[in-house]
């Protein structure tokens, strides 16, 4: 039952406290470790870049997963109460719903006040695209897309790997996901991040589809169109370059009855109008209901495992 308590407390901590400062956040530490190791990467040979990229992923995972495994194992044996306090805090740092909500609400507030330049600046924290020329509707679209996509890697996937592999599994996932965001991009040194990118795609394969399913179910319980969410998710998820991101974004587009567009790349829910600023609130409610549903399923899985094990 300890894992169930850890999961519940971690979710409560996230809802109540949000994110700690970067100076003590392990995700920031992961980025620093990766940046340090990256300095020694080869610049010419794609093969050498790829091999070194594998090394970056493995060393970063080892630096965080191995100490986590032994430290938590030691605490569990030494004092159960201390373990139940420390473990949820450490696990919570692998996911963030409150931080995602805060970022989206910041953009909504700026758009509501017609502070478009400031909204474009803040939006850079959520999306990789060039935000300088985005219209208000396209900024809303980008925000909603990010909210939907991040349901996978900011919540569903960490809980998925915690349920399967415990806190070390969630830490390992977060390390890969962080490295994908840092070095998994196209360009002169794209082979350096290719392993991190491919591994992140593999690790998110099931969580992305689970997240889309829970968005569809959330639509059913939120007064939105679960039918449209289902249809658009299955019909249009292939439009995005990512084999995973399209599932949750298309499901959200269908549920919310809007078109989500990244100019020159894709339009999800093409028959629908572009969203207005109020859709940001609706997308956050949809994702929160989906997150609650997924949390309940993970708790149920923990209870079943406990009952079967005893």
Residue 260 three-state SS:
strand
pLDDT tens digits, 140-150: 999 999 999 99
> Which contiguous run of DSSP H or E holds residue 16?
helix 2-17
Confirm if 15 and 97 have CB atoms less than 8 A apart: yes
Residue 123 has pLDDT above 80, yes or no: yes
pLDDT at position 44 is: 74
Chain centroid, CA 66 distance in Å: 23
* pTM beyond 0.85, yes or no: yes
Q: Which two tokens stand for residue 185?
A: 């991009």
pLDDT tens digits, 272-301: 899 999 999 999 999 999 999 999 999 999
The domain limits of the chain are 2-309
φ, ψ for residue 135, nearest 5 deg: -75, 165
Confirm if 168 and 304 have CB atoms less than 8 A apart: no
- The whole-number average pLDDT for the span 59-63 is 93
DSSP class of residue 295 equals: H
pLDDT tens digits, 84-103: 999 999 999 999 999 999 99
- The whole-number average pLDDT for the span 217-231 is 94
Confirm if 134 and 53 have CB atoms less than 8 A apart: no
Confirm if 252 and 144 have CB atoms less than 8 A apart: yes
């Amino acid at each position: 039952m300890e894992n169930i308590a850890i999961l519940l407390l971690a979710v409560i901590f996230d809802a109540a406290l949000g994110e700690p400062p970067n100076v003590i956040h392990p995700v920031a530490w992961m980025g620093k470790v990766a940046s340090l190791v990256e300095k020694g990467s080869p610049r010419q040979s794609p093969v050498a870049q790829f091999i070194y990229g594998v090394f970056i992923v493995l060393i970063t995972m080892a630096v965080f997963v191995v100490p986590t495994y032994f430290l938590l194992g030691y605490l569990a044996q030494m004092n159960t109460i201390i373990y139940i306090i420390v473990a949820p805090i450490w696990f919570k740092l692998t996911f963030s719903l409150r931080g995602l909500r805060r970022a989206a609400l910041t953009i909504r507030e700026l758009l509501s006040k017609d502070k478009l330049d400031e909204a474009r600046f803040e939006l850079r924290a959520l999306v990789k695209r060039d935000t300088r020329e985005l219209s208000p509707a396209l900024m809303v679209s980008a925000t909603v897309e990010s909210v939907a996509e991040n349901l996978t890697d900011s919540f569903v996937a960490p809980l998925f790997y915690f349920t399967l592999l415990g806190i070390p599994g969630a830490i390992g996932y977060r390390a890969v996901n962080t490295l994908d965001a840092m070095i998994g991009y196209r360009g002169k040194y794209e082979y350096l991040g290719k392993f991190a990118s491919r591994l992140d795609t593999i690790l998110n394969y099931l969580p992305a589809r689970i997240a889309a399913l829970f968005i569809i179910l959330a639509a059913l319980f939120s007064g939105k169109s679960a039918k449209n969410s289902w249809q658009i998710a299955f019909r249009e998820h292939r439009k995005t370059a990512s084999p995973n991101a399209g599932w949750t974004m298309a499901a959200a587009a269908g549920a919310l009855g809007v078109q989500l567009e990244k100019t020159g790349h894709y339009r999800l829910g093409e028959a629908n109008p572009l969203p207005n600023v109020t859709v940001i609130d609706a997308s956050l409610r949809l994702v929160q209901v989906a997150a609650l549903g997924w949390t309940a399923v993970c708790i149920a899985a923990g209870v079943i495992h406990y009952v079967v094990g005893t």
